[in-house]
Amino acid sequence: MSNIRLFFSRTLSTDMTDILDKSQSHYLTKVMRIKESEVFSIFNQNGEWEAKILKISKGNVEFKTIKQLRKKESSKELWLAFSPIKSNYQNFMIQKATELGVTKFLPIIFDRTVVRKINNERLEKIVIEASEQSNRLNVPEIEKAQNLKKFLKSNSIDLIFTDLNSNNKKIEKAKFSNKPICIIIGPEGDFSEHERQEILSFKGVQALKINDNILRSETAVISAISIINYVIN
């Protein structure tokens, strides 16, 4: 069995045939040098299947699913609300957060956010590749950028506020409901005071000081997710 895993956005079921897109076909045939009759894994949020290559023609790979390897998984929704940062750091942050189990990314434009445009298409490619690599089934969603007020008004969540000014270094698991858990990470210049008060007034928020040191955004994200995973798992 090959260790190649590919995400497939369309419906999957046993004994079905379909054709991979151009980029995936190129990856299998030109990068991985896979041949007709060889097998690989193909997955989406509904499960994972072993697939056999039926035909390679004009750069297109036709495959057939042979058997289901894993069924749909249910897991706690873990969201990340974050301030956009420079692309190379942001790409790393999104990749690692995906590997650690984040199910939805919500870019927030704060008062002190410097980078105010996001390449969603690029981020979607990163989360797919990270999901393929990390053996997960569900690929995280990426929402369009929004302001803090809209985010707080439109989401019913258990909010974890990474607050450098807080003295709290523990999360109370008992305070979690069945709602998604959402970690909110501020911009590199920190939250403004009125943003901080707005977040603290949100019903169901828990403030958390993840470190006494001032962390880079990508470091804060990895630290916060690791803490939450430890608490809930």
Structural domain range at position 202: 78-232
So what's the pLDDT on residue 188?
87
Q: Are 28 and 82 within one domain?
A: no
The last residue of a domain, from among 30, 54, 71: 71
Q: Are 94 and 114 within one domain?
A: yes
Q: Are 10 and 85 within one domain?
A: no
Q: Are 107 and 31 within one domain?
A: no
So what's the pLDDT on residue 233?
84
* CB 47, CB 68: distance < 8 Å: yes
Q: Are 201 and 122 within one domain?
A: yes
Q: Are 10 and 54 within one domain?
A: yes
The last residue of a domain, from among 39, 71, 103: 71
Number of Cβ atoms within 10 Å of the Cβ of 73? 12
Q: Are 57 and 86 within one domain?
A: no
Q: How many domains does the chain have?
A: 2
Q: What is the CATH number of the domain that holds 11?
A: 2.40.240.20
Closest alpha carbon to 52 in 61, 42, 39, 43:
39
Q: What are residue 48's phi and psi, to 5 degrees? A: -130, 140
So what's the pLDDT on residue 1?
57
pLDDT lower than 70: segments of the chain: 1
Q: Residue 170 burial (CB < 10 Å; 0-12/13-18/19+)?
A: exposed
**In the structure encoding, which two tokens stand for residue 137, read together?**
């089934």
So what's the pLDDT on residue 199?
97
- DSSP letters of 84-101? ---HHHHHHHHHHHHHTT
